[in-house]
Structure 1
Amino acid sequence: MQQLRQLLAIENSELAKLLKFSLYGLEATLNKARTEFPLDPGTEICAEILQEIANLLQPPPEAIAIISPPGELKLDHLRSAFNADAELRVYLGNSQLQSQSDANLWNEIHRQLLRVPENIATAWRQRALELAQQMGALADNSHLQKLPFSRDEIIYPGLKGTINAPGLCLSAQELLNTGINPIDNYGNLYYLAGFVHLFLQFIDIDPDLHHALKSVFSFDIMPLHSQPEQRTQYINTLSDRWHRVQQAQSQSDELLNLRTWIDMDEAIHSLVFIPPVERYSWWGNLQQESRRILKKMAQTAINLGYDVRIRQLSGLYADVCNFSKDDLQLNCGGVPGEVLTCLRVYARINQEEIPGRVIFRSLR
């Protein structure tokens, strides 16, 4: 313990910073575990370890008031801990956080957490809040940027106190403000409108977004912020497909309806990150909402007597490549040889086969 204390006391040491962040994380994990397993036989020893950690992290009396030097981010320790987390890099790649202000850093971190598995994201949100609280900040659910969608949901909180940062939320009222009718014959257009308006705004606030929409650019995954012409073409195609879905719904033609929804679902799933998001992340769950509606529409057509089959392509790429065409390959994310994300479902409609499209991880 003495060596740990000595390392923590070294000023301007990156190793000291990393040790401190690791101890904060261990402290939070053990506290949570004690709450979940109060009868565990290791509870008593765990309490002693927590006391030792608290003693190590206790600053000397003259340093209790934490004041950041001019120009230094109050959340710089959070940035270092986030960048150093090897588990996060599996899902986010090797890029480092770029924000130059506490408010932007808070939002950049939380937007990236939307791409990792929910259990990892939940633990990191708690850790981020605890580190922010150590700097005198408090969670603020009243200062939120509102994004239009078909339901209300706080995506992540803002901060107030020593750090002022907006959070992010979904807002049904913001969607209604666009003039969309929440009631239609099938009950689906309202939800689809939510995707369109949400994506248009997310493209503005997240510089990491790419597109892999074949009709716009078929040979690669294209960044939206550094390639403004790709951004414009993706947005135009998304809007065009949305209008075609609306027109098809007014014609009461189930198969035309289904085809336009397949195209629209492809546009929704072609808004991607590199590496592609984990399936059980916030982003993954959001995009699956579109696919669940598509599968319901396919079932409606089947019930009317049409020969329809819809298949979401996943698993080993070798097992599904015969059902797809013009696929894209990456050498990062996921498991080598497996599908990273299904951009377009495979469909068979009255004996006509329509190939799907995927992004897969190379075996190298």
Structure 2
Amino acid sequence: MQHLRQLLEIENSELAKLLRFSLYGLEATLDKARTELPLDPGAKVCDEVLQELQSLLQSKENSSFEDREDESDKLKLSRLQDAFDFDPELTHYLGNSPLQSHTDSDLWNEIQRKLLRVPEELAESWRQRALDLAQKVGAIEDNSDLYQLPFIRDEIIYPGLKGTVKAKGLCLSKQAFLKSEITPNNESGDLYLLAGFLNLYIKFIDIEPDLYHALKSLFGFDVISLHSKPEQRSQYIEALSDRFLRTQKAEKNGDPLSTLRAWIDMDEAIHSLIFVPPAERYSWWGKLQQESRRILKKIADKTINAGHDVRIRQLSGLYADICALSKDDLQLDCGGVPGEVLTCLRVYARINQEESPGRVIFRSSR
């Protein structure tokens, strides 16, 4: 380890920086493997290797990277920040955008919200690791102070911290939903869910600067940041609210075809609130949005039972295989697998022989 330490301590060295990045990745990989393979014959030695790596990376000279030396002196969670930024598995799902927070409280929440976009197994592993690193600087898990997002159920999304670091957690709150202005005044469970999405999205947009929209009716040529384009943010919320009201009206009128078309439009608006790269399908965010699509499938089945010929398809897989069923698609050069669909914004629909193309975001093949 002597020569590793010597190289790490060389200032302004690109080789030192490359080594440091590699060690963070190795540490994350071994730490995850050690948890999954507790009975492996190399487990004890692996623990010693991890201790040596932590000793190298926690030394005073290497407590921060060049571009955040002053900031890291102020952050108790700087160790967590560095480990998170340079985990190669996280980078695959989140892209190369580094963490932006300047306080421990903001850093905790930024990391936890990013974990909502990666596969749940990876997110859970990282949440535990984040708690372990927070405990090393004297902070402990706290579920007593949570920022509430109104929705149709109660759920702790992630905990806060107390002790040496104080940070709010995040939860879904049925009580906050019932107190909101936008609630359906009837017994429809489906509209109840849509009202939940509308309330949740409006509040979540307030606290998440990484959100984009890809709603074609507002702007059809690119994904648009809601943080840097406040006028687009207002227009997206207005469009979401308008589609909710149209769905309410269609449900009240009772025409199955009008209801189905309104639900397709509403589902498109829900799935058009995205991250870049788009959240992984089996992430917390991906599974939340799929709740809307399951209801859409149920509405389609009701329309079929009413005697109509209906086919609904969520577009996924290789873009070359589904592009004939979509239109005005968007292309990104990050996330997922090159040549594959990253997310389905609008489902393909065939209603009584009339086709309505879907719309997707796909990864460029280059």
Structure-2-length-normalised TM-score: 0.87
Check conservation: 1:210, 1:274, Cα contact below 8 A. Answer: yes
Q: Which residue of 136, 152, 158 corresponds with 2:138?
A: 136
What are the superposed Cα offsets for residues 214-251 of structure 1, whole Å, 9 maximum, x if unpaired?
00111111111101111111111001101111111111
Greater alpha carbon shift after TM alignment, 204-213 vs 247-256: 247-256
Shift of residue 348 of structure 1?
1.2
Partner AA of 1:228 in structure 2 = P
Query: In the aligned structure 2, how far is the partner of 1:181 from the partner of 1:190?
Result: 7
Check conservation: 1:23, 1:53, Cα contact below 8 A. Answer: no
Query: In the aligned structure 2, how far is the partner of 1:330 from the partner of 1:8?
Result: 36
Secondary structure in structure 1 of the residue aligned to 2:157? strand
Q: Which residue of 331, 347, 355 corresponds with 1:345?
A: 347
Cα distance change on mapping 1:218 and 1:18 into 2, 3 Å: closer
Percentage of matched positions with identical amino acids: 62
- Aligned residue for 1:32? 35
Cα distance change on mapping 1:26 and 1:225 into 2, 3 Å: closer
Partner AA of 1:255 in structure 2 = L
What are the superposed Cα offsets for residues 114-159 of structure 1, whole Å, 9 maximum, x if unpaired?
1111121111111111111111110111111110011111111111
- Aligned residue for 1:75? 77
Check conservation: 2:27, 2:53, Cα contact below 8 A. Answer: no
Query: In the aligned structure 1, how far is the partner of 2:148 from the partner of 2:85?
Result: 28
What are the superposed Cα offsets for residues 190-229 of structure 1, whole Å, 9 maximum, x if unpaired?
1111111111111111111000000011111111110111
Cα distance change on mapping 1:335 and 1:227 into 2, 3 Å: same
Cα RMSD after superposing both structures: 2.8
Secondary structure in structure 1 of the residue aligned to 2:189? coil
- Aligned residue for 2:44? 47
Query: In the aligned structure 2, how far is the partner of 1:86 from the partner of 1:96?
Result: 12
Query: In the aligned structure 2, how far is the partner of 1:133 from the partner of 1:19?
Result: 25
Cα distance change on mapping 1:233 and 1:241 into 2, 3 Å: same
Query: In the aligned structure 1, how far is the partner of 2:86 from the partner of 2:55?
Result: 23
Shift of residue 80 of structure 1?
0.9
Partner AA of 2:126 in structure 1 = W
Greater alpha carbon shift after TM alignment, 174-183 vs 342-351: 174-183
Q: Which residue of 312, 333, 351 corresponds with 2:314?
A: 312
Q: Say whether residues 1:281 and 2:283 are aligned partners.
A: yes
Check conservation: 1:180, 1:190, Cα contact below 8 A. Answer: no
Q: Which residue of 240, 243, 246 corresponds with 1:241?
A: 243
Cα distance change on mapping 1:174 and 1:47 into 2, 3 Å: same
Structure-1-length-normalised TM-score: 0.88
Query: In the aligned structure 1, how far is the partner of 2:353 from the partner of 2:19?
Result: 65
Q: Which residue of 302, 316, 323 corresponds with 2:325?
A: 323
- Aligned residue for 1:255? 257
Cα distance change on mapping 1:293 and 1:132 into 2, 3 Å: same
Unaligned runs of 5+ in 1: none
